Structure 1
Amino acid sequence: MSVHRFGAELPLITVTLWLQSAGVAILIVWVRRALGGDMQELGAIRSAALLVRFTAAVVVLHGMEILLWACFYRWRCLPSWDSSIYFSASSYSTLGCNDLSLPSNWRTLGPLESIIGVLMCGISVSLLFAIVTRLTSRNARSSRKEDRTTVPSPP
């Protein structure tokens, strides 16, 4: 691996990790505020709305990460924004593309972006899983509490 490639790959990886970490930290604060109130009031509709908003924010975050890599591809590797964004999105999602390839001295960037994309998506999915777990455990606890407070009337 040549020094100039490593000099490009390391900053791309680092900035991607910082972007993901900052985005996740912001989302955690946002979700804590949304879940911090009375969980009894957070019904199915509000829970679904929270998940939709959170998922949309995660998609935007991943779009920003794809755009970061696309900017580098446009600057050093590919002739147009269209092909740079397409190549980056294909690599990040691990789909890959057969109709575009990077110059030979930059070929390792595609697989590297795929590895980073899988890791970043894994972080996002784990956060989404934690939110759903918290929502369902709170709803289950409140249901059990309601069941215990309801005393059956004698026949």
Structure 2
Amino acid sequence: MTGYRLMRSLGEEGGAVIASYESQTSMDRRDATAPGVGDAPDVRVRVYGPAEREGLLYIHGGGFIMGSVDRFDATAMRIAAEVGAVVVSVEHRLAPENPLRAGLEDCYAALVWTAKSAGELGIDPQRIGVAGERGACRCGDAHGTGWWWTRVVLPVSGGSRARRSS
């Protein structure tokens, strides 16, 4: 078994368990599909939270080689409940089955979809942020988007940064 496959199997079957989360407030959770960038396939996203709030694109951990929306479901639900934001969690493609950039493109596609769907999702389109375990800072950087803010828990590069969009 190759390194990434072993890591995935440990992460999904026997690795660190992400605790479940039961919100004290009423929370919605639904799956949707964001169109892929260019010829890329559509991207599964999961939307959590109350309406009429800030929006947050959450990029799950795993270094673009492992992880999933399902694995980080409790994390995204907790962020939505405790921050009071609508959270969109992206199911990006994983390397090495796909080029590493494919996961980044999926995150960008989910960010674009979130912005275009803001009204339908109950999000203020001027208040959309990006957060995640590692890849969050790369999503906006790759395309020069004017994201509202970003918070990276375990940065790949550059750490946390905040910038107001114009």
Instruction: Return the TM-score normalized by structure 2.
Output: 0.26
Structure with the bigger percentage of helix: 1
Q: Which has the larger radius of gyration?
A: 1
Q: TM-score, normalised by structure 1?
A: 0.28
Query: Which one has a larger percent strand, Structure 1 or Structure 2?
Result: 2
Identify the structure with bigger relative contact order (alpha carbons < 8 Å, sequence gap 6+): 1
